[in-house]
Amino acid sequence: MYAEAFDNQNVATFRRWSAEARNIVLLSHMNADGDACGSLLGLALMMEHASEKGCRVTPILPNGCPKNFTWLPGAERIVSGESQQDFCHTAISEAGLIVCVDLSSASRTDMLQDELLQAKGKKVLIDHHHNPSADQFDIIFSDPHISSTCELVLWLSQAMWGSRHMDSDVARCLYTGLSTDTGGFAFSCDQPSCFEAAAVLVKYNIEPAEIHNRIINTFSLDRMKFYGFALSQRMRVYPGKRVALMAFSLDDQRRFGVGGEDMEGLVNYTLMMKEIEVGALLREEPGRTKVSLRAKYGVDVNRLAAQLGGGGHTKAAGATCLLPFDETLKAVEKLLGIENEEPINLLPA
Ligand SMILES: [Mn+2]
């Protein structure tokens, strides 16, 4: 079982810190996804059970729980760094133990970064991104070959506590990240441990179909209208280069009243054409542009994202560019080798 892969010393130390701490803060990244929310809440529930002294566990997300994950057990307890900045700063600076999940560097906590770096408490990282910032944490449990942080949290909890603190609420949280980070067990699941984790979680009376519906089948009419626009007016296909790209200006987003949360998963549509190997989605934000990259087979988009100052995983990565929107678009076109190519639009005007 995967739990045997952890360093025994680190497991024992983390177990001791968890048992002794009176104030524990759990933190994940800005614009949390299913894996960030699931690992944050699943671990928070288990650490509360595991505490010998009735410790206070505070789960924090830089900009709060995204609305599509408010159904997760314990989600109502998530504190937003954005709307309760003073509270979060105090909680982080007073915590005896700070556990960061699903992020590779403190910078991903945005406005909480300075507080996190200066905090005196013990710091533990549990993550599956490439190149974690080792100097920012006391202990790191990291493996980029693992499907999701939720999977790592499951195996780590087994190594520390066996099944003592597992229940159906924890299983629901952890299954969510396992499912979202693998696109419903479609990618990033080439290790047997991913399916072993799913098998363990399903024993706790969770309903995978119900969780799938809550994650995927949740569109509002406006969001579906936006997808119609996105596919018909904004998808550019470069079959000769095996690339497809979508780019959305702030004007596009205002027109349909949509934001980043509504585009979660949209980039995957670029890969649905059989000719396409690499897909990109650009979304303008005030003062910056978010770039998401996806790949099917040989291409390592983590490397491509690194050239834009970002990173992530081999098949899914991203970057935040501070250049103006049109310049970011040009940089991405160049990166993908399509700067001199004429795209095919799916529905030419
Ligand atoms: Mn993840």
pLDDT digits over 251-261, tens only?
Answer: 999 999 998 88
From 190, 269, 185, 193, select the one nearest 226 (Cα to Cα).
269
Using the 3D structure, point to which of 190, 215, 240 is the last residue of a domain.
215
**316: CA distance to ligand 1 center in Å?**
10
The percent of residues in the chain predicted with pLDDT above 70, rounded, is 99
**85: CA distance to ligand 1 center in Å?**
24
333, 339 in Cβ contact below 8 A?
Answer: yes
What ranges in 162-294 are assigned the alpha helix state H? 168-181, 192-202, 208-215, 221-229, 250-256
Q: Is residue 40 domain-shared with residue 172, that is, in the same domain?
A: yes
**45: CA distance to ligand 1 center in Å?**
19
**144: CA distance to ligand 1 center in Å?**
10
**271: CA distance to ligand 1 center in Å?**
20
Residue 37 pLDDT class (50, 70, 90 cuts): very high
Check the CA dihedral 33-34-35-39 and report its sign.
Answer: positive
Q: Is residue 210 domain-shared with residue 225, that is, in the same domain?
A: no
Q: Which pLDDT score, from 0 to 100, does residue 283 have?
A: 98
What tokens were used for 272?
A: 């649905």
**35: CA distance to ligand 1 center in Å?**
5
**252: CA distance to ligand 1 center in Å?**
28
Structure confidence by residue, pLDDT tens digits, 53-94:
789 999 999 999 998 899 999 999 999 999 999 999 999 999
**7: CA distance to ligand 1 center in Å?**
21
Using the 3D structure, point to which of 215, 240, 262 is the last residue of a domain.
215
With tokens 């701490």, the residue in question is 21
**17: CA distance to ligand 1 center in Å?**
24
**181: CA distance to ligand 1 center in Å?**
6
Q: Is residue 197 domain-shared with residue 336, that is, in the same domain?
A: no
Structural domain boundaries enclosing 295: 221-345
Non-local (6+) Cβ contacts of 162 within 8 A are: none
2, 36 in Cβ contact below 8 A?
Answer: no
Using the 3D structure, point to which of 181, 215, 249 is the last residue of a domain.
215
With b for 16 or more beta-carbon neighbours within 10 A and e for fewer, the 287-304 pattern comes to: eebbbbbbbeeebebbeb
Q: Is residue 122 domain-shared with residue 175, that is, in the same domain?
A: yes
Question: For the residues 133-148, what does the mean pLDDT come to?
Answer: 96
Q: Which pLDDT score, from 0 to 100, does residue 148 have?
A: 98
Instruction: Describe the crossing of helices 149-161 and 192-202 by its angle, rounded to 10 degrees.
Output: 70
Distance CA 13, CA 68 (A): 35
**193: CA distance to ligand 1 center in Å?**
15
Distance CA 150, CA 152 (A): 5
Structure confidence by residue, pLDDT tens digits, 107-133:
999 999 999 999 999 999 999 999 999
**44: CA distance to ligand 1 center in Å?**
17
Q: Is residue 232 domain-shared with residue 87, that is, in the same domain?
A: no
CA-based end-to-end distance of the chain: 55
Q: Is the pLDDT of residue 1 over 70?
A: no
Question: For the residues 169-180, what does the mean pLDDT come to?
Answer: 98
DSSP label of 64 = -
The one-letter amino acid code at 9 reads Q
What tokens were used for 34?
A: 């299913």
What tokens were used for 72?
A: 């997760």
**Is residue 122 helix, strand or coil?**
strand
Q: Which pLDDT score, from 0 to 100, does residue 264 have?
A: 86
Q: Which pLDDT score, from 0 to 100, does residue 349 have?
A: 59
**25: CA distance to ligand 1 center in Å?**
19
The H or E element that residue 246 is part of is strand 243-248
**116: CA distance to ligand 1 center in Å?**
20
Question: For the residues 154-170, what does the mean pLDDT come to?
Answer: 97
Structure confidence by residue, pLDDT tens digits, 224-253:
999 999 999 999 999 999 999 999 999 999
**102: CA distance to ligand 1 center in Å?**
5
Residue 284 pLDDT class (50, 70, 90 cuts): very high
**Structural domain total, the chain:** 2
**264: CA distance to ligand 1 center in Å?**
14
CATH label of the domain that carries residue 339 = 3.10.310.30
**73: CA distance to ligand 1 center in Å?**
19
The percent of residues in the chain predicted with pLDDT above 90, rounded, is 89
**53: CA distance to ligand 1 center in Å?**
31
CB neighbours of residue 282 within 10 Å:
23
Q: Which pLDDT score, from 0 to 100, does residue 54 have?
A: 81
Mean residue pLDDT of the chain comes to 95
Q: Is residue 170 domain-shared with residue 279, that is, in the same domain?
A: no
Q: Is residue 253 domain-shared with residue 293, that is, in the same domain?
A: yes
Q: Which pLDDT score, from 0 to 100, does residue 345 have?
A: 85
Q: Is residue 119 domain-shared with residue 235, that is, in the same domain?
A: no
CATH label of the domain that carries residue 183 = 3.90.1640.10
Q: Is residue 14 domain-shared with residue 146, that is, in the same domain?
A: yes
From 110, 209, 190, select the one nearest 151 (Cα to Cα).
190
Distance CA 290, CA 321 (A): 6
276, 240 in Cβ contact below 8 A?
Answer: no
Structure confidence by residue, pLDDT tens digits, 2-29:
777 899 999 999 999 999 999 999 999 9
What tokens were used for 47?
A: 């650490």
Question: For the residues 285-294, what does the mean pLDDT come to?
Answer: 96
Q: Is residue 242 domain-shared with residue 125, that is, in the same domain?
A: no
Q: Is residue 227 domain-shared with residue 102, that is, in the same domain?
A: no
Question: For the residues 264-290, what does the mean pLDDT come to?
Answer: 95
**42: CA distance to ligand 1 center in Å?**
14
**Is residue 106 helix, strand or coil?**
helix
24, 151, 206 from 167: Cα distances, Å? 21, 15, 10
Residues linked to residue 312 through DSSP beta bridges, in sequence order = 317
Q: Which pLDDT score, from 0 to 100, does residue 234 have?
A: 96
**169: CA distance to ligand 1 center in Å?**
19
The one-letter amino acid code at 169 reads D
**346: CA distance to ligand 1 center in Å?**
32
Q: Is residue 190 domain-shared with residue 276, that is, in the same domain?
A: no
170, 46 in Cβ contact below 8 A?
Answer: yes
